[in-house]
């Protein structure tokens, strides 16, 4: 147990100083996992995510006729498959709905986003009975993944709006990679779940590279067994995201990029035999995005999942 705690501290503190955002979860770069539904073999379902962003802010967050409000909604097919006792694969297929409003005029984009696949290896899986006859269970999964350039990227968007984050895209047009770790420790029905990922972005064919991104979330939860096949798991925690500044032509840093956001998370997960449903709300606790010229809003997510 002590070794696992030390490993998690190293993961969190060793990457903490990465400064980043694409802009922290909005637009083309969010892969929040949170609590996975309880499943033994496979699951598949739909997630809906809602996020907002305000750009073109002046000193102190002041607004002007240039200030733009952006909304990012994603309907995402996601699924997981446990292969044997040691391997797990997760997949994400997003469909994005983007909207940008300025001075009463609204621009919209909709289409498939960037498909992602992540593979995990279970490094630790054990359980023991404490001196108080309580069951302590813990697991650690580590792995990596790839994000494919399946979403549409419009280079003209960047050229026309150089003072706006290059976020209003359906995809990045780049092949990117992730390093991931999931740790869960549970004493009877009370547990703590941690997800850590680091996304390594490559330059796309238009010589634009989004900044590498670090994401970590910590959730505490409690499972109430309200019936033989029905359980409720309220949960709460924090989500931290950070990313390096974007680069153009692999040399020039993009000023309107980079930063961090710290968000709270409160939610509820419910399992009914072979179905799972959940929702969470993520209020902003602290942020510093693109030199304070960008401000992210609160987020929300819901999902419905079939376990089989």
CATH of the domain at 184: 2.40.160.40
C-alpha to C-alpha distance for 207 and 131, rounded to whole angstroms: 59
Smallest CA-to-CA distance from 217 within 180, 190, 186 is with 180
Smallest CA-to-CA distance from 92 within 157, 206, 23, 176 is with 176
The total number of structural domains that make up the chain: 1
C-alpha to C-alpha distance for 112 and 99, rounded to whole angstroms: 15
Question: What is the predicted pLDDT for the residue at 20?
Answer: 34
Query: Quick one: 306 exposed, middle or buried, by C-beta within 10 A (0-12, 13-18, 19+)?
Result: middle
The pLDDT tens digits for 245-297 are 999 987 889 988 889 999 999 999 999 999 999 999 999 999 999 888 889 99
Is this model's pTM higher than 0.85 or not?
A: yes
pLDDT at 2 over 70: no
How far from 84 is each of 41, 286, 296, CA to CA, in Å? 9, 41, 41
C-alpha to C-alpha distance for 38 and 278, rounded to whole angstroms: 12
Which residue would you say has higher pLDDT here, 20 or 138?
138
DSSP, res 294: B
Domain of residue 38: give its range. 2-307
The pLDDT tens digits for 175-231 are 999 999 999 999 999 999 999 999 999 999 999 999 999 999 999 999 999 998 999
Taking residues 46-64, what's their average pLDDT? Answer: 87
C-alpha to C-alpha distance for 243 and 23, rounded to whole angstroms: 8
Q: Are 42 and 81 in contact (CB under 8 A)?
A: yes
Q: Are 184 and 126 in contact (CB under 8 A)?
A: no
Question: What is the predicted pLDDT for the residue at 23?
Answer: 59
């Amino acid at each position: 147990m002590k070794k696992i705690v030390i490993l998690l501290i190293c993961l969190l503190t060793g990457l903490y100083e990465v400064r980043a955002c694409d802009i922290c979860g909005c637009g083309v770069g969010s892969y929040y996992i949170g609590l996975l539904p309880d499943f033994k073999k496979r699951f598949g379902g739909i997630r809906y995510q809602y996020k907002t962003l305000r750009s073109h802010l002046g000193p102190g967050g002041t607004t002007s006729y240039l200030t733009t409000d952006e909304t990012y909604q994603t309907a995402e097919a996601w699924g997981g498959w446990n292969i044997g006792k040691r391997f797990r694969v997760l997949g994400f297929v997003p469909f994005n709905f983007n909207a940008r409003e300025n001075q009463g005029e609204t621009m919209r984009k909709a289409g498939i986003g960037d498909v992602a696949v992540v593979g995990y290896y279970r490094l630790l899986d054990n359980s023991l009975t404490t001196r108080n006859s309580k069951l302590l269970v813990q697991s650690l999964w580590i792995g990596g993944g790839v994000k494919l350039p399946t979403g549409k990227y419009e280079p003209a968007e960047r050229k026309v709006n150089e003072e706006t984050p290059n976020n209003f895209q359906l995809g990045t047009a780049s092949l990117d990679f992730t390093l991931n770790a999931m740790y869960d420790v549970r004493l009877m029905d009370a547990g703590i779940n941690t997800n850590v990922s680091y996304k390594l972005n490559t330059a796309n064919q238009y010589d634009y590279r989004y900044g590498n991104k670090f994401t970590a979330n910590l959730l505490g939860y409690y499972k109430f067994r309200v019936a033989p096949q029905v359980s409720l798991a309220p949960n709460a925690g924090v989500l931290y995201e950070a990313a390096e500044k974007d680069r153009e032509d692999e040399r020039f840093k993009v000023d309107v990029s980079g930063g961090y956001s710290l968000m709270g998370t409160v939610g509820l997960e419910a399992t009914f035999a072979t179905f799972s449903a959940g929702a969470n709300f993520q209020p902003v606790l602290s942020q510093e995005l693109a030199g304070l010229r960008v401000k992210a809003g609160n987020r929300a997510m819901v999902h419905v999942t079939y376990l089989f």
